[in-house]
Structure 1
Amino acid sequence: MKYYIVAGEASGDLHGANLMKEIKQQDPNADIRFWGGDLMKAQGGTLVSHYKDRAFMGFVEVILNLRKILGFIKFCKQDIEAFNPDVIVLIDNSGFNLRIAKWAKEKGFRTNYYISPQVWASRASRVQAIKRDVDQMFVILPFEKEFYKKYDYEVEFVGHPLIDGIVDRVQVDEESFRKEHNLGEKEIIALLPGSRKQEITKMLDTMLKMVDKFPNFQFVVAGAPSQTESFYQQFMSEGKVKFVQHKTYDLLSISHAALVTSGTATLETALFKVPQVVCYKGSWLSYQIAKRIITLEYISLVNLIMDREVVAELIQNDFTETKLEQELQLLLQKEKREQLFLDYFDLEQKLGGKGASEKTAKLIVNGIT
């Protein structure tokens, strides 16, 4: 069978790679053509476009690059028609993928969507278009199934794919890891400032102001796979802060606490049972638009899934040096840490256990055979 997969961003590349691996287990003759990244490329198939070329963040950035984005959409449609797949699998990336889904459905292609657009956060009216354009939706957050049910749309809850990658990973040798990256013996506070240049630029400067305030800890920046080390170095003072790239999971597995930009990384950090402060700051205009259309009480996946504040969130004007210092100080207290560990355990239970990629692959393959 022929599969056309469209993913954007580093998280889409990760989940797409795991899905491709499982599709090949179910269908050894699978012919896969895809938009993604290096992890998907390592699984074989044909890479059409790398997500790095399409990394636009926020309303303003999207508008400024609209012509380029429309060009990608046009090319994607042409490439799908030329390949003529048995199924199109769209992974997250709603701004791009919902447009592809609408066109694909009109053209008669079978459309599957893995990792739902966040219609529960804003513009719920998009559910009607999803019902029309998506033959099968596979959701990874437990509350999404009930959300869609309110609109008379049956979706499959498959569990969260991050659990597989974290539970099945080989445990890092802490002594060797510290020696390899010259991390010394101090407890580690990991800094995860995001994956796009715009957000890293806005987040990392404030995060790094904690270094002199907590001298008994080693601060380590986790580099995103989409960026080079040289890009990070402009923000980092020589010697005081360490840098690790392509090994975020290894870093989290030995970290004492973390400062994390809102996104998938907040959930990854929680699954590693690392106490964290969730941070986010966008451009003024993007934030003004977002706060008018987003209806959620929380921004982090951890709090959304638990439906209460488990981790502190410092958003926009609250993301200041003073408030960040206060929240980080709280994370170092024994009572706070013990409560977080219990909450993280409950969170993992809500996510449905292992096997999300395998379940999704079976449903996709069975749907076209």
Structure 2
Amino acid sequence: MSAGEASGDRHAAAVARAIRAQRPATRLFGIGGREMEAAGVVRIAGLDELSVMGGLEVLRRLPFLLSLERRIRRLFRVEDIRLFLPTDYPGLNLRLARAARRQGRRVLYFIAPQVWAWREGRAGRLARDCDRVLTVLPFEAELLRKYGADVEFVGHPLLDTARSHPGPRLSAGKRLIGLFPGSRAQEVRLMLPAFAEAARRLARRHADLEFQVARPSHLPEALYAEAGFPTADAGEIMARGTAAITKSGTITLELALAGVPMVVGYRTTAIEWAIGRRLVRVPSIVLVNLVAGSQVVPEMLQDRLSPRRLASALEPLLDEAAPARQDMLRGFAEMRDRLGEPGCAARVAAHAMELIG
């Protein structure tokens, strides 16, 4: 099993537990985080070693990544691995899928790379190197089938863990606003300063607001010191949050399923942005908007990401009865209906057992 980010670690851990429930004697090895390890996966590398963002950072870490690939290829042989089960994280996982296939191993790709957004050519690699591809967004399967992939939509794993929190979210009479700058160190460095300044602007106008920054366990507390706000687990913040400022990615689905209105900001390096804007083929980078098929959540990207814009977009969402907030919550409900049914991990485990035989 291989997951390179915090969300992938969580989803892969759920699959690991489901596999153990269906076949307790299964031996699991993997690349991932503490959740996979707690689920019984013997870790080969951790998330802190894989926390890279963008081509330039990948180049700096290339010697380690190549060494890790060699270790995994040896593991396929030494441990007689029957199935390779990558979760998302396509840069490394697609190469490992190719290596596994060349060695005659079965490959089950869970949470397919977002080929519908950019680098559509990866769809051909998925069809070539995977026995089966499992998608978690409803619109992904059709494109992959065009390239000849054996693909199935298994529903989104967040449906198994999503918690709704109706009503006012007050802590000691204050409304909590969550800041979610990402699970990679570079994301935090690039986005947290703008998120934190937006929070300070809002605090000056609303004395009843408090702020917390979501920090994944594999990133050090020192990375967040300059923001000037306390950190907490993302789930804890979502459980009490009135609203959120967040980066794009899976976290937007989590917030939407928890019923937390949000604005999205995203920034990367100038070089990565110049390359990405020529490759991305979708009208929005926010998964909530893509699944819903409409602009439910406002987004500020790259040069448009500013504290003033973030604060101005979030302010109308703070009042529980505000029309903008209610419209967004209705959009969240429509999006949820399109994500399938709960039970994703058990379905993935069933596919794994089928391929192992």
Range into which the TM-score falls when normalised by the shorter chain: over 0.9
- Mapping of 1:274-313 within 5 angstroms? 274-313=260-299
Q: Give SS of 1:200's match.
A: helix
Which whole-Å CA distance do the structure 1 matches of 2:231 and 2:51 have between them?
Answer: 22
Structure 1 equivalent of residue 42 of structure 2: 46
Superposed CA deviations along residues 200-250 of structure 1, whole A, max 9, x for unmatched, are 0111111111233222211111112221223211331xxxx3321xx3222
CA contact (8 A) 1:88 1:109 kept: yes
Q: Which residue among 311, 321, 330 is the counterpart of 1:342?
A: 330
Q: Give SS of 1:282's match.
A: coil
Which whole-Å CA distance do the structure 2 matches of 1:351 and 1:225 have between them?
Answer: 28
RMSD over aligned CA atoms reads 1.8
Please give the TM-score of this superposition, normalised by the length of structure 1.
0.90
Q: Which residue among 304, 308, 319 is the counterpart of 2:305?
A: 319
- Structure 2 residue 230 is matched with structure 1 residue 235: no
Q: Give SS of 1:31's match.
A: coil
Superposed CA deviations along residues 151-188 of structure 1, whole A, max 9, x for unmatched, are 34331110011111224x999xx78xx5xxxxx42111
Structure 2 equivalent of residue 201 of structure 1: 189
Q: CA shift at 1:359, angstroms?
A: 0.7
Q: Which residue among 152, 157, 169 is the counterpart of 2:153?
A: 157
CA contact (8 A) 1:121 1:294 kept: yes
Superposed CA deviations along residues 20-64 of structure 1, whole A, max 9, x for unmatched, are 000011111111111111001111231111121111101211122
Q: Give SS of 1:256's match.
A: strand
Q: Which residue among 52, 60, 63 is the counterpart of 1:64?
A: 60
Which whole-Å CA distance do the structure 2 matches of 1:235 and 1:303 have between them?
Answer: 29
Identity %: 32
Structure 1 equivalent of residue 211 of structure 2: 219
Structure 2 equivalent of residue 265 of structure 1: 251
Q: Give SS of 1:273's match.
A: coil
Which whole-Å CA distance do the structure 2 matches of 1:6 and 1:203 have between them?
Answer: 27
Which range moved further: 38-47 or 327-336?
A: 327-336
Which whole-Å CA distance do the structure 2 matches of 1:113 and 1:78 have between them?
Answer: 20
One-letter identity of the residue aligned with 1:314: M
Which whole-Å CA distance do the structure 1 matches of 2:33 and 2:105 have between them?
Answer: 24
CA contact (8 A) 2:127 2:144 kept: no
CA contact (8 A) 1:145 1:154 kept: no
Structure 1 equivalent of residue 126 of structure 2: 130
Q: CA shift at 1:147, angstroms?
A: 2.0
Q: Give SS of 2:214's match.
A: strand
Which whole-Å CA distance do the structure 1 matches of 2:92 and 2:148 have between them?
Answer: 25
One-letter identity of the residue aligned with 2:202: F
CA contact (8 A) 1:262 1:279 kept: yes
Which whole-Å CA distance do the structure 2 matches of 1:211 and 1:119 have between them?
Answer: 34
Which whole-Å CA distance do the structure 2 matches of 1:282 and 1:52 have between them?
Answer: 19
Which whole-Å CA distance do the structure 1 matches of 2:148 and 2:86 have between them?
Answer: 21
- The answer for unaligned runs of 5 or more in structure 1 is 179-183
- The answer for unaligned runs of 5 or more in structure 2 is none
Which range moved further: 19-28 or 124-133?
A: 124-133
Structure 1 equivalent of residue 3 of structure 2: 7
- Structure 2 residue 31 is matched with structure 1 residue 35: yes
One-letter identity of the residue aligned with 2:201: K
One-letter identity of the residue aligned with 1:356: C
Which whole-Å CA distance do the structure 2 matches of 1:130 and 1:82 have between them?
Answer: 25
Please give the TM-score of this superposition, normalised by the length of structure 2.
0.93
Which whole-Å CA distance do the structure 2 matches of 1:153 and 1:264 have between them?
Answer: 24
CA contact (8 A) 1:12 1:92 kept: yes
Q: Give SS of 2:43's match.
A: strand
CA contact (8 A) 1:280 1:314 kept: yes
Which whole-Å CA distance do the structure 2 matches of 1:316 and 1:129 have between them?
Answer: 30
One-letter identity of the residue aligned with 2:221: E
Which whole-Å CA distance do the structure 2 matches of 1:207 and 1:155 have between them?
Answer: 38
- Structure 2 residue 88 is matched with structure 1 residue 92: yes
Which whole-Å CA distance do the structure 1 matches of 2:304 and 2:13 have between them?
Answer: 36
One-letter identity of the residue aligned with 1:235: A
Q: CA shift at 1:276, angstroms?
A: 0.2
